[in-house]
Structure 1
Amino acid sequence: MLRKTLTSALILASAIFTGSAFAESGANQPNQKIQHIRNATIKISFGETTFLIDPMLSDKGTYPGFENTYRSELRNPLVDLPMAAEKVIAGTDAVIVTHTHLDHWDDAAQQLLPKDIPLFVQNAEDAETIRSQGFNDVRILDGQAEFGGVTLTKTGGQHGSDEIYAVPELAQALGEIMGVVFQAKGQKTTYVVGDTVWRDEVVESLEYYRPDIIVLNTGAAEFNGFEGDPIIMGKEDTLRVHRAVPEATLIAVHMDAVNHMTLSREELAEFVQKEGIEQHISIPADGEVISF
């Protein structure tokens, strides 16, 4: 499915309508859907199986800005959820936490999610952390796993450049991350790339899986002192991914919601229009649902 990039005004209007549409969808709706909640938080539904990914569910302004990053004087999240947190959680069959940074796994998520919900993580360290928070069905995604008729495959990446990881304190703070490929019979292959920059691991996943749908974290977040060297993808990386898999639909998220993002949805929309690739890129509003 090809979608034209939305203007800022349409983005806001769409969020009001589609936020409730996902929760109340009926049997006549398409059976594969992706809902952008806020920041990197999304819901992916394959038929009757729904995954909640990287839940950050706190109220606007709950936390101070991330130290030593762009616009650290701002409080996070920068915007409210488009719906009540309980509605975000409703209908979730399993949770995937790509890594445990605050903007992917916050206190509100820990408090509101059922403690017995199946929860997939990238490694033993994250599993131990989340089990210590009271969750009792934490599963390490080591290679592949199956859940609800959906095959999950762990993919690699790096949360910043080699130059940034050469600084021990930053390497420790950034840590490890994962992406996930979702495959199900009769459904489009979906690749959630995660908090990574353009890397060989990403290229290999694109070439091997040839995903139909690619969810990119494109806010180009930056540390102070490393201007122009973001720790997640940005607009140029969006173009790289499109050129690597030109037939895929790209869904750009992780913008406009936490302090250290340097790329906004509006700026990305202008860029993809300038490059003439807007038909292949969706830049959803908070709460917007994309159906396939």
Structure 2
Amino acid sequence: MKITQIRNATQIITYAGKRFLVDPMLSEKDAWPGFNASARSSIRNPMVELPIDIEALLDVDAIIVTHTHADHWDAAAAKLIPKSMLIYVQNDSDEALLRAQGFTHLCQLSAKSAFEDIALIKTEGQHGSNEVYAVPQLAERLGDACGVIFQHPAEKNLYLVGDSIWIDGVAENMRYYQPGVVIMNTGWAHLIGYGPIIFGKEDVLKAHNILPHAQIVATHMEAVNHCLVTRRELLDYVRDIEIQAYVSAPDDGDTVTF
């Protein structure tokens, strides 16, 4: 298993000999404004350039889009990705959006979805607090965001958690599937007045306490305006609490192997 950090939540996962591109955000640096009503909204996105060229990025067997917020599926991805590529999406709404953009080879993730002999099991997350989802316009804005369990006899289970805060469902998935590798979006993105909408550094410890032998790959940092935790802060934290042997936060373009 290899996980190549591209930028933000964009990664290439090599699993059981197949390559998956996750959550492609392909715009050039500073292409679009910061997210409205979020932390540091004056900063334009993406904050950094892609570390590799688009042709190399698209040399994959399939694409997984956990949800269609612009920092996971942007206008550049819709323009640059070939319309016939196999793309896994989370629900009817996201499938309809991508079909309207011209994509023709779409598959919805589910409890039984797969790519050849690799199980791709959909999991649920919660992209913000209960207080956020109690506000109808914010609930609509945040919507759904899924995760994926990868399973294959030749690999450890991999849990791609997706955009979520810490909820009982995430902990239950960890206990049930016992992943050997967990990818966590730990940028601690904030909406003004409502707090974080994805994991922060302390959530890594929560995951480690449930899965003390798993490797945790921290991502979704230093690339969009509202993410407030940096790689250095996260790595300093895990070193201070002495779990650094189990946590990585690869730089853009770097690969970790398990």
TM range (shorter): over 0.9
Partner of 2:242: 276
CA distance in 1, matches of 2:156, 2:82: 29
Amino acid across the alignment from 2:254: E
CA distance in 2, matches of 1:112, 1:48: 25
Amino acid across the alignment from 1:168: P
Q: Map 1:162-201 onto structure 2 (within 5 A).
A: 162-201=130-169
CA distance in 2, matches of 1:197, 1:48: 31
Asked if 1:217 corresponds to 2:185, the answer is: yes
Partner of 1:247: 213
Q: Which one of the candidate residues 97, 103, 115 is aligned to 1:129?
A: 97
Return the offset for 1:172. Answer: 0.7
- Unaligned segments of structure 1, at least 5 residues: 1-31
Partner of 2:20: 51
Return the offset for 1:146. Answer: 1.7
Partner of 1:289: 255
Kept in 2: contact 1:86–1:112 (CA 8 A): no
Amino acid across the alignment from 2:28: D
Q: Secondary structure at the match of 1:43?
A: strand
Q: Secondary structure at the match of 1:144?
A: coil
CA distance in 2, matches of 1:144, 1:39: 28
Return the offset for 1:252. Answer: 0.1
Amino acid across the alignment from 2:21: L
Amino acid across the alignment from 2:90: Q
Amino acid across the alignment from 1:187: E
What per-residue deviation string (whole Å, max 9, x for no partner) do you get for residues 175-233 of structure 1?
0010000011211110000000001110110000000000000000001112xx30000
CA distance in 2, matches of 1:46, 1:40: 17
CA distance in 2, matches of 1:116, 1:83: 22
Return the offset for 1:149. Answer: 2.0
Partner of 1:99: 67
TM-score by length of 2: 0.98
What per-residue deviation string (whole Å, max 9, x for no partner) do you get for residues 119-139 of structure 1?
111110100000110100111
Q: Secondary structure at the match of 2:236?
A: helix
Q: Map 1:48-127 onto structure 2 (within 5 A).
A: 48-90=17-59, 92-127=60-95
Instruction: Give identity over the alignment, percent.
Output: 47
What per-residue deviation string (whole Å, max 9, x for no partner) do you get for residues 146-166 of structure 1?
213211000011000101111
Question: How many aligned positions are there?
Answer: 258
Q: Secondary structure at the match of 2:191?
A: coil
Return the offset for 1:142. Answer: 2.2
CA distance in 2, matches of 1:225, 1:85: 37
CA distance in 1, matches of 2:88, 2:50: 23
TM-score by length of 1: 0.87
| Superposition RMSD in Å | 0.9
Larger relative contact order (CA 8 Å, sep ≥ 6): 1
Following TM superposition, the consecutive aligned residue runs of length 4 or more in structure 1 with deviations greater than 6 angstroms are none
CA distance in 2, matches of 1:244, 1:128: 37
Kept in 1: contact 2:16–2:154 (CA 8 A): no
